[in-house]
């Protein structure tokens, strides 16, 4: 548990909360204290309060005084930091562990610091270093018991050197903490088998470094304590990936079904390289026990060439959103189509129905093909008809200009554009209310927020509405069934998705 507190009293309260949250130990960032400068004075009230806190700590403790050059807030010179640790030791207030930067460890290596409690650390906030082995070897030459290397991952592929380093440390029987900060590095917080520890945040969306996972999610959703080297692994790739509800849905589904496994988000800009280097059984560089992968934007089309076999829907739509690992092969599927159709069953007989699809991207392609296969007459509406003509030719669709269009003659109007999405296009809608008047059903594939402007406009003029959340759950349920051969707990997945959306909305406000 990584803790940031403005005062010693606040730190004490946080340590109690960390104990109640079942953390094994807590790291207290002393450089985050408002009066951190007073720590240099052994006669100050702040120093005395810290000593009392250490002696009375409710759980094992790591103390850290991170300098600015490694991402901290401490402006003390190296000599001042060395003096602080010496004073703390002289007052008999040493915790289980202290985190010292490599430069400080090398300067103090001749001193009697109690090296079995020292974490020798290095932090790089700019990116992933090219030669981590050389850094590791330099740190291994110090008397510190534990080595910590934290870099920044802009892509999940940046984590590969850290996983290789963990394997080396295990062979050499060295205790190592290997962390990649940022959204791209979450795998190092969940799948770093053999690492000495991982860090969690006390608050959802909080933490002392980018990418820290809330402790409740870490323990209850990801089930960190039960993850082993042979734990079945599932995941999702995309860019960006932080908005994805898939981890919440699939981890809840695994728990409800009583299955071992963990589902992890991987942010990557190169889906093909990810599949080649981390997923495909014949070429992957880390020995993980993969069972399946979800694929989201912008990789659904590019990963097709990485598949050993494709189902008919993936072939016809030109997009893969689900990968199943079978033996030494990857099988690609598209569950978006079935997910799209499921909420319409019981609402509309698609055979002979007139359907308007707004948009011309990948989502429009899946929706149009699904509707055509079900027997609907489909018209594609786009701001620029020229952009839609390639898709129209592929599925023999009519194309119409969106500006000024009226949908009163349509049984179904589908928004496949991102307009209305929270955080990016939330106030947008591809049409106005009057355009929708007279249509029977309005279907928005946007799921966050659950009620978009498009949905509100449709209700205003009497349309029946379908939101994107049910489609999201259905496509995920089909993924789960492909991977596990078990019936998906759809209601639990829907509840998990709604809870995640609610929590994000509360944070945004």
Give the distance between the most distant pair of CA atoms in the chain: 85
Q: Containing H/E element for 444?
A: strand 441-444
Q: How far apart are CA 68 and CA 79, in angstroms?
A: 15
Q: In this structure, are strands 290-295 and 233-238 parallel, antiparallel, or unpaired?
A: parallel
> Cα(70)–Cα(34) distance, rounded to whole angstroms?
19
Q: How does 402-438 read in b/e, with b if 16+ C-beta sit within 10 Å?
A: beebebeebbbbbbbbbbbbbeebeeebbbebebbbe
Does the annotation count 148 as an active-site position? no
Alpha-carbon torsion (167, 173, 174, 176), positive or negative: positive
Between the CA of residue 188 and those of 23, 78, 198, 436, 447, what are the distances in Å? 18, 30, 8, 48, 29
User: What is the C-alpha to C-alpha distance for residues 338 and 482, in angstroms, rounded to an integer?
Assistant: 13
* Number of neighbours of residue 35 by Cβ within 10 angstroms: 14
Token pair, residue 353, equals 């129905």
Catalytic residue among 81, 252, 300, 504: 300
Cβ-contact 335, 342 below 8 angstroms? no
Tokens representing residue 473 in the block: 């759950």
Q: What residues have CB less than 8 Å from 45, skipping those under 6 apart?
A: 38
Tokens of 13: 């309260």
Torsion of Cα atoms, 397 then 403 then 404 then 406, to 10°: 40
Query: Residue 365 corresponds to which tokens in the numbers above?
Result: 């392609």
Residues 29, 62: contact at Cβ < 8 Å?
no
Structure tokens at 421: 């999405």
CB 488 within 8 Å of CB 481 = yes
Which residues are tagged catalytic?
300
């Amino acid at each position: 548990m990584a803790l940031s507190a403005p005062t010693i009293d606040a730190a004490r309260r946080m340590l109690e909360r960390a104990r109640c949250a079942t953390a094994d130990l807590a790291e207290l960032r002393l450089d985050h204290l408002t009066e951190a400068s007073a720590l240099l004075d052994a006669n100050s009230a702040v120093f005395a309060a810290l000593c009392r806190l250490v002696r009375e700590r409710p759980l094992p403790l790591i103390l850290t005084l991170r300098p600015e050059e490694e991402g901290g807030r401490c402006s003390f010179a190296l000599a001042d930091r060395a003096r602080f640790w010496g004073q703390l030791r002289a007052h008999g207030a040493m915790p289980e562990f202290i985190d010292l930067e490599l430069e400080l460890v090398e300067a103090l290596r001749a001193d009697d610091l109690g090296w079995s409690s020292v974490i020798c650390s290095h932090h790089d906030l700019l990116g992933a270093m090219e030669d981590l082995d050389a850094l590791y070897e330099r740190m291994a030459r110090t008397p510190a018991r534990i080595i910590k290397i934290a870099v920044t991952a802009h892509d999940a592929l940046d984590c590969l050197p850290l996983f290789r380093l963990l394997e080396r440390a295990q062979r050499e029987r060295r205790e190592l903490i290997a962390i990649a900060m940022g959204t791209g590095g979450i795998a190092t917080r969940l799948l770093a088998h053999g690492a000495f520890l991982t860090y969690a945040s006390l608050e959802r969306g909080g933490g002392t470094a980018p990418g820290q996972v809330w402790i409740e999610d870490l323990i209850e959703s990801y089930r960190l304590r039960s993850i082993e080297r042979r734990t079945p692994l599932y995941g999702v790739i995309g860019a960006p990936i932080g908005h994805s509800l898939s981890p919440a849905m699939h981890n809840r589904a695994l728990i409800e079904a009583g299955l071992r496994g963990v589902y992890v988000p991987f942010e990557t800009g190169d889906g093909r390289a990810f599949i080649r280097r981390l997923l495909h059984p014949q070429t992957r560089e880390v020995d993980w026990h993969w069972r399946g992968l979800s694929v989201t934007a912008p990789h659904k089309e590019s990963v097709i060439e990485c598949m050993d076999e494709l189902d008919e829907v993936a072939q016809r739509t030109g997009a893969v959103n689900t990968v199943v690992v079978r033996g030494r092969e990857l099988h690609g599927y598209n569950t978006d189509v079935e997910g799209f159709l499921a909420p319409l069953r019981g609402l509309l007989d698609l055979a002979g129905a007139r359907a308007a699809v707004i948009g011309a991207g990948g989502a429009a392609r899946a929706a149009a093909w699904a509707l055509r296969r079900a027997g609907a007459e489909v018209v594609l509406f786009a701001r620029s008809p020229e952009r839609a003509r390639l898709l129209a030719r592929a599925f023999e669709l009519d194309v119409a200009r969106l500006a000024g269009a009226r949908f009163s003659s349509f049984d179904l109007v589908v928004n496949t554009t991102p307009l209305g999405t929270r955080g990016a296009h939330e106030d947008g809608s591809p049409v106005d209310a009057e355009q929708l008047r007279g249509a029977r059903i309005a279907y928005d594939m946007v799921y966050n927020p659950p009620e978009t402007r498009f949905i509100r406009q449709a209700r205003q003029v009497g349309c029946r509405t379908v939101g994107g959340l049910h489609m999201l759950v259905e496509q995920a349920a089909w993924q789960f069934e492909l991977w596990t051969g078990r019936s998906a707990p759809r209601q639990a997945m829907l509840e998990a998705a709604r809870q995640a959306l609610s929590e994000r909305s509360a944070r945004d406000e």
